[in-house]
Structure 1
Amino acid sequence: MQPTSEASQRIARISAHLHPPTLQKMVESSTLRTMNCRAKGGAPGFKVAILGAAGGIGQSLSLLMKMNPLVSVLHLYDVVNAHGVTADISHMDTGAVVRGFLGQPQLENALTGMDLVIIPAGVPRKPGMTRDDLFKINAGIVRTLCEGVAKCCPRAIVNLISNPVNSTVPIAAEVFKKAGTYDPKRLLGVTTLDVVRANTFVAEVLGIDPREVDVPSGGWSCRSYHTASFVTG
């Protein structure tokens, strides 16, 4: 018995998720075009890439982006465990099409055509590690990722989470300036964690519900917005 046309299309979509095409095939085909890269029933929306999706922040962030109805395409990139996280996230019953990308050779594939790039990639601060030590490691990671952004999706909005944010944002800015793609309105340092912490500390002192407190962040960045401000408005 021959499968129906609809069944064949569903099988083809599942196969594409499990085996992402090469960059050239992605460009030549319609898989990343606005109206065609949608799960069944999905509405047009934003194409989002998360660089560092397998980390502690990246996994939670990937989950939130998959839940967001305004996200239509979600690319998950990391140097380890990217495909495992992708498989788990893609099983959620929302419309966003999820694809995983592993390692430096697939960075350009992950970034091509994206509207929003969120970067939680980097190492966390360990006991005994100074901010200078942290910066030396994460600065190199951020530089490499932003070079990919400048090449593959220069008009994308970039949200930087990698610590220390007040130092990694200038690194990203210099990369974009060198590439001729710098726009201060499109480079955002995410300070949500500082806001949440401040709200909690103030609420404890005042003896009130943290949800009733709103302390603006004092951290430096090109512009400090919440992680999902672009997606959710």
Structure 2
Amino acid sequence: MSFIARRAFSSTAYNAHKVAVLGAAGGIGQPLSLLLKLNKDVTSLSLYDLRGTPGVAADLSHIPTNSVVKGFLPDNEGLKKALEGVEVVVIPAGVPRKPGMTRDDLFNTNASIVRDLAKAVAETAPKAFVAVIANPVNSTVPIVAEVFKSKGVYDPKRIFGVTTLDVIRSSRFISEIKDTDPTTETVTVVGGHSGHTIVPLISQSSHPDISGETLDALTHRIQFGGDEVVKAKDGAGSATLSMAEAGARFAGSLLKALKGEAITEPTYVDSPLYKSEGIEFFSSKVTLGPEGVKEVHGLGKLSPYEEKLIEVAKVDLKKNIQKGVDFVAANP
């Protein structure tokens, strides 16, 4: 190997990272793992689930990118092995929503799953960035935080709720109204990740002129876009492909941050914005860096319409967060 080739190879290795997907054989996990396999910043991809992961790993391993893929099952300390040396952990594990179910209906099942996975991450990869997709995110992120606190390894800068699906939906839905290129539409979405806790800041987008019934309909569609998919799939699941894209995009941002790039996008984190009101977690624009959260940004100038949405969101958020905290206290 020439000196130039050696330098190029070592530079690539230096900039690449090990990622684990917990729940990798599921409806979100498989397409998410595919998208991460295609990410040039990933050199090692660990896939964990209760079943199916060796097959998913074998399938993905045939794709000619530089990452090595391994699948792990619960036996032989598979979860621990999957997490060893990992820098980014993405958790899409959990049961999907079915027609008529709210994200809160998912709570009892998914809370236990997330708690147990969080214990493993806290013990094996406590310094990893943890991106939580498992719903209800408003409650599962506090669950992860409480587990990490119980293990003495909590770092508020390293735990994230993935709200990127609300962001990409906003871009798409606005582009349909305005007949624009959705890739050029940037919308900040704040609050949480369910129903009325989702607050799109349309007044800060490129189309602050959207108002009246159009704004009402757009806001409702962004807040309840998941219901659209659940209904259309007619009992066969919830948003998996769009959520996989959202999860891969956010995981990609974390990988860029690890390389030293300053990336800013909305995510649900331990936030100072409304702590004085007892709301420990909130989604807003966050600048990411090599240590995780570099800066939590304020909401900027809100329209009176958005101020009302925020007040409604805070009521539900406070309850959702407490639900997660109480679950870990009652079920350590």
TM tier relative to shorter chain: 0.7 to 0.9
* Deviations, residues 92-124 of structure 1 (Å, cap 9, x unaligned): 111111111012641111111111101111111
Verify: 1:155 aligned to 2:141, yes or no: no
The residue type paired with residue 107 of structure 1 is L
Whichever residue aligns with residue 35 of structure 2, its letter is L
Q: Contact 2:19–2:44 at 8 Å: present in 1 too?
A: yes
Counterpart residue type for residue 13 of structure 2: A
- Answer yes or no: is the 8 Å Cα contact 2:122–2:153 preserved in 1: yes
Equivalent residues in 2 for 1:75-114, closer than 5 Å = 75-103=46-74, 105-114=77-86
Q: Distance in 2 between matches of 1:71 and 1:199?
A: 27
- The residue aligned with 1:43 is 13
Tell me what 1:229 maps to: 253
Assess if the C-alpha contact under 8 Å between 2:106 and 2:136 holds in 1. Answer: yes
Deviations 1:74-96 (A, max 9, x none): 10001121111000111111111
Identical counterparts, % of pairs? 55
Consecutive aligned runs of 4 or more in structure 1 exceeding 4 Å deviation: none
Provide the C-alpha distance between the structure 2 equivalents of 1:123 and 1:133, rounded to a whole number of angstroms. 11
Q: What stretches of structure 2 of length at least 5 have no aligned partner?
A: 1-8, 194-248, 258-332
Task: Give the superposed CA RMSD.
Answer: 2.2
Question: Which of 69, 88, 110 matches 2:40?
Answer: 69
Scaled by the length of structure 2, the TM-score of the pair is 0.54
**Alignment partner of 1:137 is 2:106:** no
Equivalent AA in structure 2 for residue 163 of structure 1: N
Q: Tell me the distance in 1 between the aligned counterparts of 2:21 and 2:156.
A: 20
Q: Secondary structure at the match of 1:87?
A: helix
Kindly indicate whether the alpha-carbon contact (under 8 Å) linking 1:43 and 1:95 is maintained by their aligned counterparts in 2. no
Contact 2:39–2:252 under 8 Å retained in 1: no
Q: What 5-or-longer segments of structure 1 have no aligned partner?
A: 1-38
CA distance in 1, matches of 2:83, 2:192: 26
C-alpha distance after superposition, 1:171-227 (max 9, x if no partner)? 111111111111111001111111111111222222222112111122438xxx923
Question: 2 CA distance for matches of 1:77 and 1:187?
Answer: 19
* 1:42 to partner: Cα distance: 6.8
Q: How far, CA to CA, are the matches of 1:95 and 1:65 in structure 2?
A: 11
Q: Which has the higher contact order (CA 8 A, sep 6+)?
A: 2
User: In the alignment, is the contact (CA less than 8 A) between 1:49 and 1:116 conserved in 2?
Assistant: yes
